[in-house]
A = this chain, B = another copy of it.
Amino acid sequence: MKNYELVLHRVEAELAAGRLRIGGRLPGERALAEQLGISRPSVREAVRVLEAMGVVRTATGSGPDAGTVIVAEPVSPLTAVLRLHLATNHLPMGDVVQTRVLLESWAAREAASRSPELGAVSALLDRMDEPGLSPEEFHLLDAEFHVALAGLAGNVLIAAVMESLRSAIHGYVLAAVPNLADWEATAVGLRAEHRGIVAALAAGDGEGAAGLVAAHIHGFYQAARLPS
């Protein structure tokens, strides 16, 4: 058992027991080290891991916002895991695409049955109509749109995974834009497909929306010829 794991187990146990809540603060690194009988570097390694896991946030200085604060940020760690494992080439891009299709088409089906509020989503589409958007700006809005769609289904885990998938592949998507025959034409098509998806949702046609989403995703990845 390595020393820094003592801190991890301690924090997880206190979270599970309810003694640590979101917004609460960990004892100072020096105090924690003394409590557990380990050194401050060991504590710091553990805090780094917790930070990478999206469980704490650290800030220097003093005051209520300083120190090591408990947060709940599952998206950034998921994104980091996916990005790193994509980089190792042991996570095929095709599997990521397939997962996106599965999660997003499910979300569309689920969202349609909840007659959701589509105002925010439509506002995103309006912003994507603005002329002169760079591919990067367009895709950031596009990612927001897809994540918002996933959020409509009301499952925080699936929404978090979706957002992580989108963030993790953002760089790859941008790098593949030059593969497109005609970016402007592609953008026009993507906008139309988005409108179609929202229209199907508004009409309560979950099955139709799911099909459109799947076609939308598959279509783009085939056009961009993303690697593996």
> Given contacts A15-B87, A48-B48, A49-B52, are A161 and B158 in contact (CB under 8 A)?
no
Contact A91 B48 (CB under 8 A): no
Instruction: Report the Cα distance A96→B4, complex, angstroms.
Output: 29
| Residues in B whose Cβ lies below 8 Å from that of A49 | 48-49, 52
CB-based contact A88/B102 at 8 Å: no
A95 at the interface (CB under 8 A from B): yes
The size bracket of the interface on A is 35 or more
Q: Which of B41, B55, B72, B83 contacts A44 (CB 8 A)?
A: B41
Assuming the contacts A74-B81, A81-B74, asked whether A90 and B52 have C-beta atoms less than 8 A apart, the reply is no
Chain B hits for A92, CB < 8 A: 156
A90 surroundings in chain B (CB, below 8 A): 22, 72, 156
The distance in angstroms between the C-alpha atoms of A72 and B84, with both chains bound, is 9
Q: Which of A21, A48, A50, A84 has the most CB of B within 10 A?
A: A84
Instruction: From known contacts A74-B85, A81-B81, infer whether A157 and B91 are also in contact, taking CB-CB under 8 Å.
Output: yes
Interface residues of A in 149-173 (CB under 8 A from B): 155-158, 161
